Structure formats: C-alpha cells, structure tokens
Amino acid sequence: MKKTWTNCWLEYPLIQDQPDVTITVASEWDGVIINRAYHELKRGLESLYHCQVTQAVVTTADIRFLKDPGLSAEGYTINAKKDSCTISAGDEKGILYGSFALLRQLQIAQCPLHELTWQETKVPSNPLRLMIHWDNLPGDIERGYAGDSLFFKNNHILVNERSIDYARLAASAGFNGLVINNSNVAGAAIELISDRFYAPLSRLQEIFHQYGLKLFIAVDFTMPMLMGDLETADPTDPDVQSWWQRKAKEVWENLPGLGGFMVKADSEGRPGPYAYGKNHADGANMLADAVAPYGGLILWRCFVYDCQQDWRDTVTDRAKAGYDHYMPLDGCFRDNVVLEIKNGPMDFQVREPVSPLIGGLAKTQMLLEVQITQEYTGQQRHVCYLLPWFRQILDQDMCCWEGPSKVSDLIQGKRCGKPLGGISAIANTGNDPNWTGHDLAAANFYGIGRLAFDISLSPETIAREWIRLTYGDQPKVEEVLFDILMNSWPVYEKYNAPLGIGWMCNPGFHYGPNPNGYEYSRWGTYHRADHQALGIDRTTAGTGYTAQYAPNLQKLYEDVETCPEEMILFFHRLPYSYMLKTGKNILQHIYDTHFEGAEQAAQFLSRIEGLAGLLPDDVYARMHERFTLQKENAEEWRDVVNTFFYRMTGIPDEHGRTIYP
Ligand code: GCV
C-alpha cells in the first residue's frame, strides 16, 4: 500500500547531518518487543542524523539495552553519558518506552547522540493507558471526525501498514492497550468474537503486541441471545454463565493474550442486567469470572442514566445518575473488573465538575474516561487542546479520605489499594492523511498518552514536546502553535455554552449553536433560562446533587460565594443580574465572552497565516481551511447565543455592540 499518511510526532526531522557516523545498538536479551525497539531507534536516529544504525555486541555498542530486574513493569532508566548510552528495564516494554524516550530527548536537546548527557528513570503512573475506539464494522466511526476506521471496512478487519504505524504512534505516546470497536455493539460487531473474525483479529493483535499494546473488544451484554440460542442474558442464569465461560475459552484459545472485554450496559438503549432485575455487579462479575482463567479484564462503563427521564420536578437530575447507580455497589466487584467513569457527571461537555463517583468509590478500581474525539469541543474542525482541562481534572482533590485524594491518586488505586486503574481516552483518530482531521488535534492523542504514562507532566511541557517532535526546531512555529494550543480550550469555551451550562448545540450531531438543543430536553431546556434567571439549582435545596461530594467539596459547590465561577450555572440557578467576581453581571459576562471568543478565534487565523512557508504546504492548507471555518463558526456561536439571551431578557449589551445580526 502506498503510504498516504503522515508520521505525526514520529517524523524525526533532521537535527544534524552525520552521514559518516555509525551508531551501534545491542541488547542483553531478545524478544519481539525488543526487536521493535531496535527498529524504532534505527528509524529515528537515521532520520535525525542521516547516519547508519547497526546491531553490535553488547560490550562495544553505543546504545545498550540492559536487563534490570529491579525496575517495575514497563519502567526504564536511561543513562546517556556522551560516548555511551544504556537503556535498562525490567521487561521488554520498558526498553521500548525507553527507546522512544531517548529519541524524544534528542529532539528536545537538538544535539547528536554522543553529546547527550542525560539520566531519566520512569515507571508509568498508571497501569492501564487505553485508547477507546468507537469504530463500527462497516468502517464508520461514532463521533469520529478524522475519516473512516483504521480497523474496519465493509465488515472486514483491516490489517496493513497503517495498523503498524498506528501501533507505533500509540506506543510512543505511552499507551498500552486499545479497544478497537464501539461499545454500542451492532451489526457484524456482534460476531467479532467468533470464527468469522479470529484469524484477522489475531494478525492485528500480533502487531499490537509487538508494540506492547493489549487488544480489548467491546461486547454486547446479550451475546448469549444474539449469538447463542438462549432466551435470556440474565447474569445469574447458569446457562448464561456457562455460555460465557465456553465463549471466553474459545476466545482466548484463538486470541491468547487478549486484554479483555468492554461493556456498555443499561445505557442509551443498550441492554444490561437491569432487564433481569439484577445489578451491575451481578453483570460485571459474571463476565469477570468467565474471563478470569485467562487473565482477562472487564472494563465496565458507568455511563448509565435514563435518557428519557422526566426532570421537570426539582430533584430528578441526570448528573446524579452515575453515583446513584454505582455507589451502592462499591466493593462488590471482582478484582478483574475496572469501572470506567466519564470525567464529568454528564457527558464530555466543555466544562463540568469531576464526577462525584470518582471520589465516592472507596473499594473499587477505576479508569478515568476522557474524550479526545472532540464531540462537544469543536469536532476537530475547531482547535481545542484538551490537556489543560485534563490537568485540572487530575488535580482536583476529591477530599474523600485522609490519604491522597486527587483524581490522579484515586485512579491509580491509592485509596482502594488495588493494582488496576488508569486513564482511557475516547480516540480521535481515523484514516485521514493526518490521522486526526485537524492537524493540531494530534496533540490531544499524543498528550493524553504522555499524561497517562507520566501523570506529573504539565500541558505546557506536552504541547512544546509535541510541536518540537512534529514540526522540528522552528522557534516561530513553536511560539505561535504553543500559544494557540494553550489558549484554544478557553477560547472555545468563551463562544460556547457559558459558566458550566453545557450543550446549547444541535441535537444528535452536537455541532453548531442551538441554545435549546439538548436532545433529551422535551421535558424542558437544559439551561432552564427564562426572562429572569438561568442555570440549575443542584444544591441540597435543589436537585441534591452536591450531596454526592465529600463534605468539603459539597460545601464549596453549595455556597454560591465559593462555587468556582466557571461552573456557577451548573450548580446554581441565578438571576442575570447576579454579580460575578469580575464585577460583571452574568448577562454581560455572556455577551463579553462571546464577543471575545469570536475575536480570539479570528486572531488564531491571522496567526496561522503568519506561518505560511514555515509549515509543510499540505499542513498549512489544511490548517488554514480549519481556522477559517472556526472563525466563521465562532461568529455564528456568538450571534446565536447572544441573541438568545438578548431576546430572553430584553437587556442590551452595555457597550452597545450589535447583538441581533
Ligand atoms: C458511544 C455520548 C455520545 C454517544 C456515545 C456515548 C457513550 O452519548 O453522544 O455517541 O456512544 O456518549 O459514551 O457511550
């Protein structure tokens, strides 16, 4: 297949021309992953220096892979001392991660290998670092904004050179697993775990394995009915249990080393244990028992709410659903079950508080689920670098016990004392030439992998790294792209839904301004705006949502004076005249931020135009097109949202700007 796609951050732009230099690499031990590490170093170094890279004996090599049983799984130590460089690890994966780290550092330092003096030891912060694909077997992607699936086409599995490049990108960012199919399992996907697909799946799995990536498959809870001839999927039914046990045996015989299954149950029309009067622990544990003999995991999604719920009363609140469903089950799950929890209580809005379930569960392993496919954050037409947001989420202290209780601690299992947990990202990749639609969206793919591997990283460090690796050492490019990336989420938020309200986009598609657009809003608008006030009272006097947080956080959110203002309308219903700490009332805040956001989006475009000639032509053309669209769309958001509130209140902008276009 002719290569029609980019290498993203594995481009390895030239640092110094050294055609006469030969760099030798040797390893103390063999293995398929070690072999990949060697080939990655060879590819990277030859591109960075135009040198030769060959294999040698351990004692004389320039770069040596050493075994260090003292290092934890997947960890590495690099010791570069000008004329010698060692990468030590306890397992093969550590050598692979160490090799990518060395290539990264050379590009940061912009020096030849024999001038590098550098020491680094890293052990991944999170045992699970997963990309979650919502790819469908026909080849489309649910909420995909970068082309078609990399894994499926016309109900067949694709195994090709691009699968290898995908694995390279994922491993180099730090991921160690992926779910390849949509958890809304439908059509041919129901047969993914059958003879029809085992052979190509096994070939795909072999590629992933060489890059240290575990394959996971999303399954439907009613498989015994859909694939088998059972009339029930009741998790307590012995026939159902033995159906899954037989199936698991068959699956692992065909796909040894498979990571496990992901399940979305009792959610948005998906079947689950509730249909049989059973709970989610009954469902997850039944599956967990079936896969346990093979070391399999069950990733159980917690996105459970009644989307048709009537919430005109004051206590029914979708935000409460996750906690209400799962808290009573804390401690009831098997050790090979991990609960996968969206970062917020709603659904990947541009701003939400952290899900109270994350602070609630004390005895259960958790996987934080974030969304890098930009469903609600501009759909990869707009730039929205999400790492500053993810940093805030991970740093949020849930104040839920006397030990370390930041989200980053809790997902690492510091509270429950169990070994599994981590970060999963709903993937933003597809078969577009640049993988992610918007060229700058690749920073989210790279960034969340890096952050999952090393939870201490700042969004700034990651952004600079990504720019440097992708576009080389070009100060002007770095200055402009860094600035745009770092401002992109705040700017997007400004022209979108204000102060934590959420949605205000077209139903279904979730793109474009529509203040009353929440699809499940037949019982009232999401923001509840009328001519006097807006927002939802989620205090204990309102829906009672704040009571799901530990006392300190509850107090913080409950009191309108201390509630973080960027989320004030998520927690409180307030009059338009309510004065924010900026000295502006809410209405004027909405007007001002929408004018500012649209202006800043326009500035992004002119700054990108300043990079003409510095970026590759195709990259520049794509970026120019997307930033032009973002500018136009931001103006539309500004006008639609401002007009909505102007009509609602009849109060004009204090500065006399035109509101009704
Ligand atoms: C895969 C949101 C999206 C759905 C998605 C769902 C989920 O509701 O709009 O497309 O379905 O989240 O997380 O399962």
d(CA 409, CA 301): 20
| 239 catalytic residue (yes or no) | no
Determine the 3-state secondary structure of 116 from DSSP. coil
* HSE value, Cβ hemisphere, 13 Å, CA-based, for 195: 0
pLDDT at residue 205, as a whole number: 98
Specify the residue with its C-alpha closest to ligand 1, atom 7. 303
Residue 196 makes CB contacts below 8 A (sequence gap 6+) with 188
pLDDT at residue 643, as a whole number: 97
pLDDT at residue 440, as a whole number: 98
Report if pTM > 0.85.
yes
Residues 351 and 502: beta-carbon distance below 8 Å: yes
d(CA 461, CA 192): 40
d(CA 486, CA 620): 19
Neighbours of 478 (CB within 10 A): 16
| Range in 334-338, 398-402, 519-523, 602-606 with the lowest mean pLDDT | 519-523
Angle, alpha carbons 28-32-35 (nearest 5°): 60
Residues 180 and 430: beta-carbon distance below 8 Å: no
d(CA 602, CA 263): 42
Q: Which of 148, 165, 375, 537 is catalytic?
A: 375
Q: What is the pLDDT of residues 45-90, one digit of tens each?
A: 999 999 999 999 989 999 999 999 999 999 999 999 988 999 999 9
d(CA 658, CA 653): 8
Q: Which domains does the chain have, with CATH numbers?
A: 8-122 (3.30.379.10), 128-464 (3.20.20.80), 495-536+573-649 (3.90.1330.10)
Residue 392 makes CB contacts below 8 A (sequence gap 6+) with none
Confidence of residue 524 (pLDDT cuts 50, 70, 90): low
Candidate from 133, 136, 143, 510 with most ligand 1 atoms within 8 A of CB, to mutate? 143
State the distance from the centre of ligand 1 to the C-alpha of 124, rounded, in angstroms: 29
Residue 350 makes CB contacts below 8 A (sequence gap 6+) with 376, 377, 489, 492, 493, 496, 497, 502
Q: Is 406 in the pocket of ligand 1 (CB under 6 A)?
A: no
The number of the ligand 1 atom at minimal distance from the alpha carbon of 143 is 10
Residues 274 and 326: beta-carbon distance below 8 Å: no
Residues 636-649, mean pLDDT to the nearest whole number: 96
State the distance from the centre of ligand 1 to the C-alpha of 316, rounded, in angstroms: 21
Q: Please write down the HEC assignment for all residues of 352-369.
A: CCCCHHHHHCCCCCEEEE
- Is pLDDT of 225 > 80? yes
The number of the ligand 1 atom at minimal distance from the alpha carbon of 264 is 14
State the distance from the centre of ligand 1 to the C-alpha of 6, rounded, in angstroms: 29
Structure tokens at 238: 């012995």
d(CA 337, CA 288): 6
| 340 catalytic residue (yes or no) | no
Confidence of residue 304 (pLDDT cuts 50, 70, 90): confident
d(CA 376, CA 354): 17
Confidence of residue 308 (pLDDT cuts 50, 70, 90): low
pLDDT at residue 309, as a whole number: 66
Q: Is 264 in the pocket of ligand 1 (CB under 6 A)?
A: yes
pLDDT at residue 270, as a whole number: 83
Residues 266-294, mean pLDDT to the nearest whole number: 94
State the distance from the centre of ligand 1 to the C-alpha of 367, rounded, in angstroms: 17
pLDDT at residue 521, as a whole number: 59
Where on the phi/psi map is residue 157: left (φ > 0), alpha (ψ -120 to 50), or beta? beta
- Is pLDDT of 306 > 80? no
| Range in 92-101, 287-296, 451-460, 494-503 with the lowest mean pLDDT | 494-503
| 206 catalytic residue (yes or no) | no
Sole residue written with tokens 């697909």: 197
Q: What is the pLDDT of residues 25-51, one digit of tens each?
A: 999 999 999 999 999 999 999 999 999
Q: What is the pLDDT of residues 129-139, one digit of tens each?
A: 999 999 999 99
d(CA 255, CA 66): 30
